[in-house]
């Protein structure tokens, strides 16, 4: 037996959630920015410096980098409270400069790197599909993404054209199947 009042209440609750979520559609989850993230200067390649700070707009973060003293990358890293199966990831960021990438660490400790490209002054949304990583390493190294994911890193990789700068990340969205 259906309960019209319960159905109506759930519909209103769903509509309220959708309006709070902004432009998200079904199957998209906004990932919290800045809170719970840590800075990494890529310790295995010494010399890079930088920082991770909250952005000037609410719920944004700024990843600064300086490769003049060496290093290969800096990253903003976040452990995930297991992230189930994903079909894609969207990152919205602005520069100037810097080569942006995403690293996903799966439940077998395999790391998948996705190189997204150079970040410009204007905000740009990078859309990555999980079946086309630029490289992978670690764990069983079987080139298969095993869910749930353990962690995500937003990377700025060294570029001779832009050895120092900052990238502002304004949105990170996980798409679910």
Spatial distance between the Cα atoms of 75 and 61, rounded to a whole number of angstroms? 12
Task: Enumerate the β-bridge partners of residue 54.
Answer: 61
Spatial distance between the Cα atoms of 4 and 159, rounded to a whole number of angstroms? 59
Whole-prediction pTM: 0.84
Q: Judge whether residue 156 has pLDDT over 90.
A: yes
Q: Judge whether residue 82 has pLDDT over 80.
A: no
Q: Which of 170, 171, 165 is nearest to 96 (CA)?
A: 165
Query: Which pLDDT score, from 0 to 100, does residue 27 have?
Result: 87
List the domains of the chain with CATH numbers: 25-175 (2.60.120.430)
Higher pLDDT, 8 or 47: 47
- 69: which 2 tokens? 């003293």
The fraction of the chain above a pLDDT of 70, given in percent, is 86
Q: Judge whether residue 151 has pLDDT over 70.
A: yes
């Amino acid at each position: 037996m259906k309960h019209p009042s319960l159905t109506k209440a759930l519909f209103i609750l769903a509509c309220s959630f959708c309006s709070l979520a902004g432009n998200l559609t079904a199957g998209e989850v906004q990932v919290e920015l800045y809170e719970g993230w840590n800075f990494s200067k890529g310790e295995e390649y010494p010399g890079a410096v930088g920082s991770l700070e909250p952005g000037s707009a609410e719920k944004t973060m700024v990843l600064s980098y300086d490769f003049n003293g060496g290093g290969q990358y800096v990253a903003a890293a976040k452990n995930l409270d297991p992230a189930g199966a994903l079909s894609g990831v969207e990152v919205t960021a602005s520069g100037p400069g810097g080569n942006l990438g995403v690293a996903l660490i799966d439940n077998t400790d395999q790391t998948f790197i996705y190189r997204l490209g150079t970040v410009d002054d204007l905000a740009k949304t990078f859309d990555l599909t999980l079946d086309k990583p630029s490289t992978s390493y670690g764990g069983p190294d079987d080139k298969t993404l095993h869910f749930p994911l353990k962690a995500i890193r937003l990377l700025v990789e060294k570029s001779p054209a832009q050895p120092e700068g900052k990238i502002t990340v304004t949105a990170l969205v996980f798409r679910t199947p």
